[in-house]
Amino acid sequence: MSKQDVFFRRRIEAVTACIVLALVLLTVRAVDLQWGQANKLKQLAENQRQRQYTVQAPRGPIVDTDGRILAESIQIPSIAATGRDVPKDRIGVLANALGMPVSGLNKRLEHKGFVWLARQIDPAKARAVAELEIPGIRQETEWKRFNPLGPATGHLLGFVGIDGRGLEGLEYSQNNVLVGQSGRKNLRRDARGHSLPGAYWLKKPKMGDKVALYLDATIQGMAYAALAEGIRTQHAKGGSVVVMRPQDGAVLAMVSWPGFNPNNYRRFKPGQWRNRAVTDVFEPGSVLKPFAVAAALQTDRWKRNSVIFCENGSYRVADYVIHDVHPEGWLDMTGLLARSSNICAAKVALDIGSLKLRNMLESVGFGRRAGIGLSGESPGILLPLERWGPVETATIAFGQGVAITPLQLAAAFSVLANGGTHVSPKLIRGLDVEPSYRVMSEQIARSVMRMLVHAASPEGTGAKAVPAGYRVAGKTGTAQKPGPRGGYAKGKFMAVFAGAVPADAPKLVIAVVVDEPQKSIYGGTVAAPIFRRIAAAALPYLGVPPEFSQQQWQNIPVLAHEKAHMASEGEVPQYYGKSLREVRRMASQGGYQLHVHGSGWVVRQKPVALSRMARGDSLEVWLDE
């Protein structure tokens, strides 16, 4: 065999050996992949086909005293993506369907994992995206908060952010109760990123717990509409109303103005979100006088028929001169409240001393939070006793030098309506509150209530608060607003009315506060009519019959223009706080010709609630967001 043959033979053997070795290695590798690493590779493949993501749980509902929904979570579509799976050449059409710039969409898709593209969008837009069938894009269902009464409950309920957490109002303060437990879902997809059947729950989401309120949605709507109408009539800056059931402290309504729609809260400024009924304090003015009188009656020195000389309108205490709007001579305690004499109230307070007056104010709830489960509640301002000199004692007796909230005012008048027992305000069912306690004797409370009936009569300052057929025990207040640098702001006032109705067996206590009215500054002209509108609508709704027949009422001496207003009230349905859809349905059922102004929820109607209407008559409603 030649050398050349040997060389070729060895080359063939070497190549054969290499091939054999390669086959052996491939076999070893195949065995390793098929058996040795099978589980690992299977897991890697499975990981590429599957994605796990968190699913938000719905928040629990908020309901009123009858179980009517005030806030609930509704399902709404959102668009999400897995960034690495979205084809670059489809981004343009996707941006067009979503109605967003391509540059903004590109920036979001730089994140290769899960990313939200558009949250809580219109269902029509979601359908347009789905029709594109773009790999890596999927539609998710999220929960969005909806408030059926809109602005009427905006300040009280607050709102929820896009992440499902409460940001204002009860949604914020009760977030731990309302928030649900998120779930975890496993999603399968093919090599192109399209979703496949077979998704399953790793952990199902759990809805949050329900929050039940003492609030009555119908009375809430009545109060909101009456306040809005009163503020518009007076071109006022704002205001608040609190309606309470004195026997158990149930808060039946709590409204503020300006209103905002929590369903579209981003359209409003943060200053409009606050609940003025618990956050804003004001000097109450003369509505504080009944408690100075009650403190005096608790001593042996003063009786209901005790008389005070009112100094004919001017009285000096130390270096401070107190004035009355209407100069008075001698008045008894009833006259003090009916004529609202600052000087008489100051004299009474100076006689009984600062300790007794402060104890009374503290006992009815001033100077401390009511603790009804709302964040941001102010305790008000009640000076420590060591800071009460003669001037402070005199001026606090008629509502200057002390600051309270509308809720505190309603709670304080409930003490009088309850026969002298303090019952803590209640908003949330099941929430622990301070036990009730006695503030004054039942005899003193009833005596002050009888005086307040005179204060809300034609002889007093609160005549415009009286609805047809009922008697009111209430008091007006007019107070200057403090200035930013001390003293009082020129031309800026708070108009107040607080009272109980019916006077002999109170079913409602209503506190009305109007901020900076322009047409008039007096509580009897500005706040009292709002009280009347609420009481006139709410009492028949609650089944409280009038104390007097129409004929008896006509024989009771009231102001002529008040009678004209009251006599017209009868049987018109209550539309305040309702949506346009509800109004159309109710008007159709009643056979009324409906005329609509604006959009949103009803804040005004003509004829007013409880007027008489026949089929075919015209009904006008004004709606506002």
Active site positions, annotated:
286
Q: Which H, E and C letters describe 258-313, residue by residue?
A: CCCCHHHHHHCCHHHCCCHHHHCCECCHHHHHHHHHHHHHCCCCCCCCCEEECHHH
Going by the DSSP 8-state scheme, the letter that residue 381 receives in this structure is: B
Could you count the other beta carbons within 10 Å of the beta carbon of residue 456?
31
Task: Give how far the C-alpha of residue 365 lies from the chain's centroid of Cα atoms, to the nearest Å.
Answer: 22
Beta bridge partners of 594: 619
Going by the DSSP 8-state scheme, the letter that residue 388 receives in this structure is: -
What is the residue-wise DSSP string for 410-447?
A: HHHHHHHHTTSEE---B-BTT---PPPEE-S-HHHHHH
Task: Give how far the C-alpha of residue 618 lies from the chain's centroid of Cα atoms, to the nearest Å.
Answer: 33
* Residues in CB range of 553: below 8 A, 6 or more apart: 468, 469, 546, 566
**Greatest distance between any 2 Cα atoms in the chain:** 152
Backbone φ and ψ of 439, nearest 5° = -100, -45
* Residues in CB range of 577: below 8 A, 6 or more apart: 149, 152, 217, 218, 220, 221, 222, 224, 225, 601, 602
The DSSP H or E segment spanning 234 is helix 217-234
Nearest to 255 by CA among 511, 21, 548: 511
Instruction: Identify whether the C-beta of residue 423 lies closer than 8 Å to the C-beta of residue 247.
Output: yes
Could you count the other beta carbons within 10 Å of the beta carbon of residue 298?
17
The sheet carrying 50-55 orders its strands as 50-55, 183-189, 195-203
CA distances to 306, 410, 463 from 497, rounded to whole Å, are: 26, 10, 11
Q: For residues 426-443, b (16+ Cβ closer than 10 Å) or e, as one string? A: bbbeeeebeeeeebbeee
Residue 325 φ/ψ region, left for φ over 0, alpha for ψ in the -120 to 50 degree band, beta for the rest: alpha
Could you count the other beta carbons within 10 Å of the beta carbon of residue 23?
10
* Residues in CB range of 603: below 8 A, 6 or more apart: 151, 224, 225, 228, 229, 576, 622, 623, 624
Nearest to 70 by CA among 157, 159, 155, 177: 157
Strands 211-212 and 62-63 come out as: parallel
Nearest to 519 by CA among 488, 487, 483, 495: 495
Nearest to 370 by CA among 494, 244, 479: 244
Q: Which H, E and C letters describe 343-366, residue by residue?
A: HHHHHHHHHHCHHHHHHHHHHCCC
State the Cα–Cα distance between residues 68 and 458, nearest whole angstrom.
40
Identify the three-state secondary structure at position 161. coil
State the Cα–Cα distance between residues 152 and 624, nearest whole angstrom.
10
Q: Residue 262, preceding bond cis, omega within 30 degrees?
A: no
